[in-house]
A and B are shown apart, each in its own frame.
Chain A
């Protein structure tokens, strides 16, 4: 009995997670779908989408946004966590507090604050991609921070550095050959998580810049008004990107533990 119930639960979860995506895929290749199964199949909707310049432009902006967020996150997080772990462990609490901040000030709220702060001089950044990149970096920080911090914690870099030094390595060598290779999988996993979060970001993009600098999710909302099949194709693409990146990030960590806060 309880064995049956367990199986039922797992199958139900699997169906719940896959069915919407499978249905979207079927819809993206359906000629028309008003009865139980699609009347016929076609690649027309995919061809239309892939020939559409607006699609490629929005995908390009999304890629630019995501790569910028990853670059900025890694540029800030790796040196910061390195000095904090190595020399100033007491500051770790402050950093953790700052990564909790987006919990209380999520995308919608952050957008309101940023708009009122940067709509006028001295820093007139409102409605620029630069402000969006900064904002999305802030929002995806908790993901990247966790992964990079875990990597530094697991590596115990202080002991590593001492060991390398006692073996005669100088500091640059210690960093390049001992510390960075040890934390690299964690840093990569953090980067992939930040990329995935930036790739799907909608609230900040819509409120800070909207159709002035259309990213893929914003374009999908526009497209869905006129072309449901094309929008379904974007759903399939977003799903593949998010799931591919997600499983990649998971495979980079030794433990399968997932921490949210």
Chain B
């Protein structure tokens, strides 16, 4: 390559690194400034951020992410299995594409779509009422699970498909001819092979729900004690601007996500080893 072309590209690459430092890395790292006050280490902001109100917000967020990811993981794994064993390649391709696209659909449009469906006069609630069944309160605690399932279920489906791809259908035939039934095959071979991928994907779903802000904000106008909403309130809410508290809560949130990321990378390594066997 001519030097001109090469160095022009290197120049843009360096500019890119500068851009990332300014708008990605520094804003994250400088959050830790809250632990310095007048030139020395101070934990005052941490004490403020661990007040019962925010402890509850953290607990609520973890609980929401935990169960929302669990629902998505169970349904998504089963759906990936259904696609794996489905003979029709057209169904497979269509569902995979649909899931890949739906997994990224969130925010205000999704929240309002579910309000039309499950709000006070929502279409499904009218049907449930007509059948004499209990209705769904979309603004209540379980409501959020219904909405999050919209992206968690297809996300898990898409994440699990490659893992199922590692299981050869011939193995199932081989197990059968050796006298094992379907359940025995999944219990001894299928699930052990899939387990690292299930765990890794579950962690991604957990982080996905834990960090979500847009959907729950639009659904409840921010009226819910969850960590991302509390952080939003501290920077742009009506209560006033409290950058130190916002930064400390943001660090708390980043810590949970960092642990998730490490666990995810570990599970990927485990999965890679599993697929080699």
**A residues lining the B interface (CB < 8 Å):** 2, 5-7, 9-10, 13-14, 16-17, 19-21, 23-24, 26-27, 33-36, 75-77, 79-80, 82-84, 86-87, 98, 100-117, 123, 131, 134-135, 137-138, 141, 161, 170-172, 174-175, 196-197, 200-203, 206-207, 210, 217, 220-221, 224, 228, 231-232, 234-235, 238-239, 242-243, 246-247, 250, 256-258, 260-261
Contact = CB atoms under 8 A, between A and B. Distances in A.
B104 interface: yes
B10 interface: yes
Nearest to A6: B82
B20 A138 contact: yes
Interface string B192-220: 00000000000010010001011001100
Nearest to B257: A104
Given A109-B231, A246-B100, A246-B101, A20 B110 contact: yes
Nearest to B259: A104
Nearest to B4: A171
B5 interface: yes
Interface stretch (B36-44, B47-55, B90-98, B170-178): B90-98
A23 B28 CA distance: 40
Given A13-B95, A261-B204, A113 B28 contact: yes
B25 A98 contact: yes
Contact of B217 (A26, A206, A256): A206
A172 B5 contact: yes
A171 B121 CA distance: 65
B24 interface: yes
A80 B26 CA distance: 21
Contacts of B83: 10
10 contacts: A103-B207, A109-B231, A112-B246, A113-B247, A116-B243, A171-B1, A207-B232, A217-B108, A238-B109, A239-B105
Contacts of A104: 28, 254, 257-258, 261
Contacts, number: 276
A236 B105 CA distance: 12
Contacts of A134: 19, 22-23
A201 B104 CA distance: 11
Interface of B: 1-2, 5-6, 8-10, 12-13, 15-16, 19-20, 22-28, 30-31, 33, 75, 78-79, 81-83, 85-86, 91, 93, 95-110, 112-117, 121-124, 126-127, 130, 149-150, 153-155, 157-159, 162, 182, 204, 207, 211, 213-214, 217-218, 228, 231-232, 234-236, 243, 246-247, 250, 253-254, 257-258, 260-261, 264
A23 B257 CA distance: 35
A147 to B, nearest CB: 13
Given A23-B116, A161-B1, A250 B101 contact: yes
A20 B116 contact: yes
A170 B96 CA distance: 43
A228 B213 CA distance: 21
Given A83-B9, A108-B253, A247-B101, A239 B109 contact: yes
A200 B253 contact: no
Given A75-B12, A172-B5, A207-B232, A16 B105 contact: no
A113 to B, nearest CB: 3
Contacts of B236: 206-207, 210
Which 8 pairs of residues, A with B, have the shortest CB-CB distance?
A: A113-B27, A246-B101, A202-B214, A20-B113, A238-B109, A6-B82, A106-B211, A79-B9
B6 A9 contact: no
A100 B265 CA distance: 11
B109 A108 contact: no
Contact of B154 (A13, A21, A138, A261): A13
Contact of A172 (B2, B86, B127): B2
Contact of A103 (B6, B79, B127, B257): B257
B23 A217 contact: no
Given A79-B9, A104-B258, A109-B250, 4 more contacts: A17-B102, A23-B123, A103-B260, A161-B1
B140 to A, nearest CB: 18
Contact of B159 (A84, A161, A231, A260): A260
